[in-house]
Amino acid sequence: MPHIANQTPYIVEAVPLVDKDGQNVFAVITKGTYELRLHDGALRLKDQQDKLVFSDQPREDGNYDELLLSSDIVDYKPGTDVILVEPTNFAKQVGIFGWKVSLEVGPVKKSDRVRKKWSFGPHSRGRKPRLTFAGTYDEKWRNERMPLVPADFDYRYNQAAPLDQIVPGYLKGDEQVKVAGLYEGKNVVFELPGYSIVVTGNLMKEYFFGAAVLDTLVIWSDMPKINLVWRYLIRCRQKAEELRRLSVSLSTNFLSLQRVIQT
């Protein structure tokens, strides 16, 4: 595993994976956790940062058809998942039953009344429409591709949010977020932190750098807090051991940093 110089206040992991075509890759996953102050919409970095979620988490009733949280461990998402976590506290669930909850961030604008079925949370891998992107597992796949995913696997399968909560082309990380009808009936407005995650390293003695993409925003219902997940994919030429050193840092203006490095 490469040594990671983590220069952020967040959790950073370099997870070795195999992509759809069998190539060794590292997903550099950075996860930040902020508390949300309801009275003024200010975000405060949590002292204890949330760890990565390594497997899908079912709801309290153990029903995997309706997830509470989806795994952070994927190699690539083509857009940003925006997820509003269902309340796990029974009193909280009962307290907002029948209320109209609204969520706005970037192009995502969604409102729904809280019923038995929570409509803002992640979809399971075996549920449509997510399942339709998994590819065709047939005799041809068994003979030609197994254990890799099918040739018609669509990376949209890695998106866990409902289709109307997926941002194509990613959030930038400085957007305004509005949540209404969730926290004691208050309308809460806040702005995302506005940071870029810059990844630099050495792959087979060749220096590389780039900006991770913000592909997951998780807003919690039980408590006013958010998770932000950035992802940067490193493709090894052959073996995962080719990646030696890795540095992850914060930047408020990655484009300016890029111009400085190029000159």
What pLDDT sits at residue 261? 38
What pLDDT sits at residue 262? 36
User: For the CA atoms of 16, 52, 8, 170, what is the dihedral angle to 10 degrees?
Assistant: 80
What pLDDT sits at residue 259? 36
What pLDDT sits at residue 94? 67
Asked whether the predicted pLDDT for residue 159 surpasses 80, the reply is: yes
Q: How confident is the model at residue 164 (pLDDT cuts 50, 70, 90)?
A: very high
Distances (CA, A) of 214 to 33, 107, 211, 232: 13, 15, 10, 9
Asked whether the predicted pLDDT for residue 80 surpasses 90, the reply is: yes
- State the residue range of the domain holding 206: 3-262
Instruction: Name the residue with higher pLDDT: 226 or 97.
Output: 226
Structure token digits, residue 42: 């200010």
The tally of domains found in the chain comes to 1
Instruction: Name the residue with higher pLDDT: 98 or 189.
Output: 189
Asked whether the predicted pLDDT for residue 239 surpasses 70, the reply is: no
Average pLDDT over residues 67-89: 93
Instruction: Name the residue with higher pLDDT: 58 or 136.
Output: 136
Q: Is the pTM higher than 0.85?
A: yes
Return the half-sphere exposure (C-beta side, CA atoms, 13 A cut-off) of residue 182: 25
Average pLDDT over residues 222-250: 83
Rounded-to-integer distance, Cα 252 and Cα 95, Å:
39
Q: How confident is the model at residue 257 (pLDDT cuts 50, 70, 90)?
A: very low
What pLDDT sits at residue 24? 86
What pLDDT sits at residue 23? 87
Average pLDDT over residues 191-198: 93
Q: Are the CB atoms for 22 and 14 separated by under 8 Å?
A: no
DSSP the chain: --EEEE-SSSEEEEEEEE-TTS-EEEEEEEEEEEEE-TTT--EEE-SSPPPP--S-EE-TT--TTBEEE--S--S--SEEEEEEPPP-SHHHHHHTTT-EEEEEETTEEEEEE--SS-SSSPBPTTSTTGGGGS---SHHHHHHTTTSPPTT--GGGG--S-GGGEEET-B-S--EEEEEEEETTEEEEEE----EEEEEEEETTEEEEEE-EEEEEEE-SSSSEEEEEEEEEEE-SS-GGGEEEEEEEEES-HHHHHHHHH-
Torsions phi, psi of 56, nearest 5? -60, 140
Q: Which residues pair with 234 in a beta bridge?
A: 26
Asked whether the predicted pLDDT for residue 106 surpasses 80, the reply is: yes
Q: What value does the mean pLDDT of the chain take?
A: 87
Asked whether the predicted pLDDT for residue 211 surpasses 90, the reply is: yes
Q: How confident is the model at residue 253 (pLDDT cuts 50, 70, 90)?
A: low
